[in-house]
């Protein structure tokens, strides 16, 4: 599914679409692990169908069913925005724009997801070492004011009796 957002960020819509798509994909399946990883370079500013309260409710509902969430964004009040949506601090990563830091952020998300879905860890939260490697400087409450555009929300879920991972991704790009 590809949606072109033309420089705007319908982040709440993207999160809701992703959660609902994954929900229908795993319906009736037992003993699975679900991880929803949200990556954005923008602020929510154009969602028409989903409000902040809807996102909060979706996250709470899915966390009660043991879904895991990750929220990653580059250097723009990531912790404030993530907290508004009710993500836990360990689920949030503010990566630095640079040559190595984004790679470290996505590697950490992939490793944590792999270890969680293979039952080697109890959650997908980022460690302090992972946050430092990604250049996360917001965890000490520094504020950044840069604005960007675009979003990606994806989910990975695993069927325990199979070694394959299935992935569903919705992403937008600036034209």
Residues 17-56 have pLDDT tens digits of: 999 999 999 999 988 899 999 988 888 888 999 999 999 9
- Least trusted range by pLDDT, from 106-110, 139-143, 168-172: 168-172
Q: Is the dihedral of CA 130, 135, 136, 141 positive or negative?
A: positive
Instruction: Decide if pLDDT at 1 tops 70.
Output: no
Contact 126, 108 (CB under 8 A): yes
pTM of the model: 0.76
* 140 belongs to a structural domain: yes
Question: What does pLDDT average to over the chain?
Answer: 80
Q: Count of domains in the chain?
A: 1
* 6 belongs to a structural domain: no
Strands 151-158 and 92-95, bridge-based pairing: unpaired
pLDDT band of residue 146 (cuts 50, 70, 90) is very low
pLDDT band of residue 7 (cuts 50, 70, 90) is low
* 102 belongs to a structural domain: yes
Domain that holds residue 161: 11-23+31-172
């Amino acid at each position: 599914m590809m949606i072109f957002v033309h420089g705007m960020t319908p982040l709440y819509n993207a999160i809701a679409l992703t959660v609902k798509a994954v929900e229908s994909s795993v319906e009736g399946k037992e003993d699975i692990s679900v991880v929803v990883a949200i990556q954005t370079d923008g602020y929510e500013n154009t969602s028409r169908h989903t409000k902040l309260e809807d996102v909060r409710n979706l996250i709470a509902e899915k966390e009660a069913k043991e879904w895991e969430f990750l929220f990653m964004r580059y250097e723009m009040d990531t912790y404030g925005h993530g907290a508004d949506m009710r993500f836990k601090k360990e689920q949030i990563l503010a990566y630095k724009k640079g040559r190595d830091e984004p790679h470290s952020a996505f590697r950490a998300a992939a490793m944590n997801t792999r270890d969680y879905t293979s039952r080697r860890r109890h959650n997908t939260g980022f460690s302090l070492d992972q946050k430092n490697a990604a250049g996360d400087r917001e965890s000490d409450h520094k504020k950044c004011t840069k604005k960007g555009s675009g979003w990606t929300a994806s989910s990975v879920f695993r069927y325990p009796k199979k070694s394959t991972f299935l992935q569903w991704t919705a992403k937008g790009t600036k034209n």
